[in-house]
Each structure stands twice: as C-alpha cells, then as structure tokens.
Structure 1
Amino acid sequence: MTSWDDTFAGGDDDASPPPPLSPEERAGVLDDLADLEVFRTLLEPTGVKGIVVDCPDCDEEHHVDWALMQANLRQLLDEGQTGRHEPPFDPDPDDYVSWDYASGYADGVAARAEADEPGGGQGEGRTAGRHARED
C-alpha cells in the first residue's frame, strides 16, 4: 500500500491532528472562499472549469474544478489541512486558469463596471483592483 492508498484508507491513526489555523490564516481562507465564488461566477459561464495549482510536492500542475477547490478550502477551515483528492481524468489545461489570472480577470470586470458607471473612472484616488497583490 502506498501513502496515496493510506490517505483513502484513513491514513496513519497515530498521527496528531494539525494545529488549528491562526485567526489570520482563517481570515485568509475565508477571503479565498469569497474570491473563489466571484471567480466561478465570472468564469464558469465562459467555459472555465476551475483553477490550476502548481504543486510543490510533485512539481506538477493540478487541475481542480470549482467545487473541489471550494471543498478543499472548507476542509482547510474545518480541519486545518486538506486531504488528497482524485485528479480529473485527462483534463484539458485550456479549461483551467491560475488563481492570478482569475484574480486579474475579476479586477478587470470590476474596473470596467466602475468605468461604465456615471462619473466612474474619475478622480486621482483610484487604487489597484481588490484582487491585485501588493507583493
């Protein structure tokens, strides 16, 4: 039996549970859940099936559909970690976008909506989109 099999068989019974998320980590996951819902609402009608995630453990991309990504984030909130899940069978990479792409797309839609409002896009106090990273 492999470690992959162990995950589905219940894992190591002697393993201690992960520590609970800090308040900052919980807030971040809750923000991610809210953002994910926005991304799905905007992108699913265009044919995008989910998010592509670079996995540091196996150095491969994982294609995660919207519902599974949401379930992973909820599990992270509830249990402090996510479990392994069966990847989609032969996913088409063109059907998935990165988190950064989805975030930029959402910012673009919001900026366009703001510009289309009467008086929108005026003033010097404009800032980067809500999803823009300040790294």
Structure 2
Amino acid sequence: MDAWDDAFGASPDRDPDFGPDDRSGQPPLTMEERAGVLDDLAELEVFRTLLEPTGVKGIVVDCPDCDEEHHVDWALMQANLRQLLDEGQTGRHEPPFDPDPDDYVSWDYASGYADGVAALAEREEPSGRHGSTGRHARDD
C-alpha cells in the first residue's frame, strides 16, 4: 500500500475528493507500511522547512480516480499522514477552494529540491583537512 494512494482514495469504496466513506473494517497498517508513512512524515517536514519560506503552500497529488490534481497544504498533508498512522486510513477533508497551482509542488519536485539543497550543503561543508576545498575523493 502506498501512503499517497490510501491518503487520496485510490480504491473503489472511497470518494476521491474526500477520502474514505466507511471507517469500519480497515485493517491496521503493517510495520513496513507504518515505516513508510513515518518516512513520508519526516520528508514532508524537510520539504516544508525548505519550501514554505519560498511561498510554496503544499503538495500537489495526481488522483488516479478522478484524473485531477489535489492541492494539499502542508498542515493537511501532515494531518493525513498522522491519521493514516493512527487509523489506517484518512478521513474526509474539504479540498481548497480555487487553489493556485503555482503555489504547490509535486512530491518528486520537493524531493529533488531537498536533495539539491543537501548536495550543495555537502559541497560547501569543510572536510576538516588542511587546505581542503571540501570536495570528496569521489568527486575527482
């Protein structure tokens, strides 16, 4: 199970705009699924820390059920993931009214952005060697 599929209703018994219709009978997440959601929560916090100051309001997710993009702000995405951990599924949420698509980025974009920031910081970090330029041997 992918946290994004579950969070945005990628099953026939769910309304794609608002999440699951029925909360009963949902099996708990497996340890592997829980670990994946915890990883997503940690990544989301990094993304928010890096991108929110630039004006990005949240994540855009392509919904396979309705073939539309769902614009989810940082706090709602975090709440969805936490609820997924606690209950094994997410609840109904009102989508934003007339969101500006330029204010949201995909998970892949946010991940690439974070990787770029980390790579730049690694290059700029002094290695502690005398006269070093901070480059790693693998860069030569």
So what's the TM-score if we normalise by structure 2?
0.77
Give the ranges of 4+ consecutive aligned residues of structure 1 lying more than 4 Å apart after TM superposition. none
Question: CA RMSD of the aligned region, Å?
Answer: 2.2
Measured against aligned partners, the alpha-carbon deviations of 1:58-97 in whole angstroms (never above 9, x if no partner) come to: 1110000000000000000000011221111100000000
The verdict on how the C-alpha distance between 1:22 and 1:39 changes in structure 2, with shifts beyond 3 A counting, is same
Matched, 1:90 2:70: no
Q: Which runs of 5+ in 1 are unaligned?
A: 126-135
Residue type of the alignment partner of 1:32: D
Aligned position for 1:31: 39
The verdict on how the C-alpha distance between 1:123 and 1:94 changes in structure 2, with shifts beyond 3 A counting, is same
CA shift, 1:17, in A, is: 2.4
SS in 2 for 1:30: helix
Following superposition of structure 1 onto structure 2, how do residues 120-131 of structure 1 map, counting pairs within 5 Å? Answer: 120-124=134-138
Give the whole-Å Cα distance in 2 for the aligned partners of 1:86 and 1:25: 25
Matched, 1:66 2:80: no
Measured against aligned partners, the alpha-carbon deviations of 1:16-42 in whole angstroms (never above 9, x if no partner) come to: 321111100000000000000000000
2:51 to 40, 43, 46: 43
CA shift, 1:56, in A, is: 1.3
So what's the TM-score if we normalise by structure 1?
0.80
**Matched residue count:** 118
- Among all aligned residue pairs of Structure 1 and Structure 2, give the percentage whose two residues are the same amino acid: 83
SS in 2 for 1:124: helix
Q: Which runs of 5+ in 2 are unaligned?
A: 1-13, 128-133
Structure with the bigger RCO (C-alpha within 8 Å, sep 6+) is: 2
CA shift, 1:121, in A, is: 3.6
